[in-house]
Amino acid sequence: MKYSIDKKEKYTVFQLEEDNLNSLIAPKLKSEFVILSNEGVSNLIFDLADVKFVDSSGLSAILTANRLWKSLGTFVLTGVEHPSVKKLIEISRLDTVLKIVPTVEESIEFIFMEELERELNDEGSAEEFNDEEVEQ
């Protein structure tokens, strides 16, 4: 399986450099996702720009990543450009489950916005907690 990983402080970009995301690749891909999640990667951008075909096991690998990052941070699928890949995601209704953003650059911006929102929510929760202590 050919791929590249670009780790940054707030996110990691995983680019699959294969034409097919199928039953031959999906198990290895799932393993890589588990390794990255165990390493503490909080936000993952999965880039499918090179992928021209995805089968059901490939969709399963994508859903595995989505499930892993629900508790860690944000999972973004990007580069869904090839018509057959786009159509399969739409037919399977995964476009309603996954966060799909057109480009890596837009995905990075989306993750920064998500991080900012989480930080503001955390600050708001801390302030509410402190206000409750003062009132008592």
Q: Which tens digit of pLDDT belongs to each residue from 48-100?
A: 999 999 999 999 999 999 999 999 999 999 999 999 999 999 999 999 999 99
For residues 43 and 12, the answer to whether their CB atoms sit within 8 Å is yes
**Is residue 135 very low, low, confident or very high in pLDDT (cuts 50, 70, 90)?**
low
Domain extents in the chain: 3-135
Task: Assign a CATH topology to domain 3-135.
Answer: Transcription Regulator spoIIAA (3.30.750)
User: What separation in angstroms does the CA of 33 have from each of 39, 91, 118, 119?
Assistant: 10, 24, 23, 25
For position 123, what pLDDT does the model report? 79
- pLDDT band, residue 126 (cuts 50/70/90): low
* β-pair type (3-7, 12-16): antiparallel
Under the banding of pLDDT at 50, 70 and 90, the label for residue 130 is low
Q: For the residues 38-45, what does the mean pLDDT come to?
A: 96
- The DSSP annotation for 59-78 comes to HHHHHHHHHHHHTTSEEEEE
